[in-house]
Amino acid sequence: MPVATPKQYAEMLDAAQKGGYAYPAINITSLSTISGALKAFADSGSDGIIQVSTGGGKFASGLGINDEAYGAIVLAEACHRLAEKYDILVALHTDHCHPEKVESFLKPLLEASRERIAEGKGPLFQSHMFDGSVVDLDENMKISAELLKECSELDIILEVEAGCVGGEEDGHDTSGLPAEKLYTSPEEMLQVYETLAPIGRFMFAATFGNVHGAYKPGSVKLTPTILKDGQAVVIEKYGQDAEMDLVFHGGSGSDLDDIRETLGYGVIKMNIDTDTQYAFTRPIVNHVCENIEGMLKIDGEVGNKKFYDPRSYIKKGEQGLCDRLKQACDDLLSTGKSIYNK
């Protein structure tokens, strides 16, 4: 069963932490993006993380349903079935969930996992993200602690965020925030650890100037040493075993040197969405431009079905996404390191 069990997921994260690599976490919205992601991980011999945002869930549910949680469940169930055909492990995760979405998005997904567990299966998702960065840290940690307790009871890991990832993605817009909000302090990292570590396993999206979206080289100023400094404060007080599993948000477009540096500071997961969106769309645009007369019924002509059949160009998008995700596996040093069957 290549969708990881809770035990296998913990082993994946432990292996990445010990081995100095990280997993690409790709946002999916459809069967094609799921299949492209699974093929990329399998081709790379890398385990990985497949995640669904609120917007992705809403899109997947279709115009007639328009339900974030329902669409996320559909995508997750499809992942469980499709992943059976591959010889790597993937974990299923949900991306940014703000406080106002907990009841409508996160709680129904936890209930879906609870139902699966009652049937003798594993949880539907192996981890979820609660993004409490929009409230003060005390309130953030209060909600995070409550959610982590519920997640831990289901063998699910919770990802939290302190500090804000800049930019805009999928309705998550922090572009107007002051610069200092984009950097998590060592004191905040210590507070996160002390609040959550006694409850259960968690991942922590500490921020170090990272932003969502695509930017020209030099526009984004990352300070990865923030992660090192925060980890050092926690480890100094609680020992080496307290090193946290950190998450790099806004990984698209980042310099390889910055990416690799974060791996030495405890990053075991890097979100990639913008780059894979572009990689999916670019070959489709090429297809349209190269075959425009066949795709459109111009001046009374009939077009060419082999060009306007959606399968002819969506499969090219799927391959483009696959190729870009394989590059991410190389960048994060996860290529060839699947723990499946080891």
pLDDT in tens, 225-267: 999 999 999 999 999 999 999 999 877 778 899 999 999 999 9
Percent of the chain with pLDDT over 90: 83
Under 8 Å between Cβ of 334 and 259:
no
Name the DSSP class of 338.
-
pLDDT value, residue 222 = 84
Q: Is the pLDDT of residue 48 over 60?
A: yes
**Structure tokens, 323:** 């190729």
**Structure tokens, 38:** 């699974």
- Domain ranges across the chain: 6-331
Under 8 Å between Cβ of 53 and 342:
no
Under 8 Å between Cβ of 238 and 222:
no
> 154-158, 162-166, 338-342: which has the highest mean pLDDT?
154-158
- Round to whole Å and give the CA distance between 29 and 52: 7
Q: What is the mean pLDDT of residues 84-100?
A: 97
Q: What is the CATH number of domain 6-331?
A: 3.20.20.70
pLDDT value, residue 166 = 47
Under 8 Å between Cβ of 278 and 214:
yes
Give burial (CB, 10 Å; 0-12/13-18/19+) of 319.
middle
What does pLDDT average to over the chain? 92
pTM for the structure as a whole: 0.92
- Could you tell me how far CA 48 lies from the centroid of its own chain? 9
- Round to whole Å and give the CA distance between 17 and 338: 14
**Structure tokens, 209:** 């100037």
The residue type found at 225 is T
Task: Please provide the DSSP assignment of 117-152 as one string.
Answer: HHTT---S-SEEEE--TTS-HHHHHHHHHHHHHHHH
- Round to whole Å and give the CA distance between 128 and 94: 5
Catalytic (active-site) positions: 95
Q: Which residues contact 175 (CB under 8 A, 6 or more apart)?
A: 166, 167, 168
pLDDT band for position 221 (cuts 50, 70, 90): confident
- Round to whole Å and give the CA distance between 42 and 139: 41
Give burial (CB, 10 Å; 0-12/13-18/19+) of 24.
buried
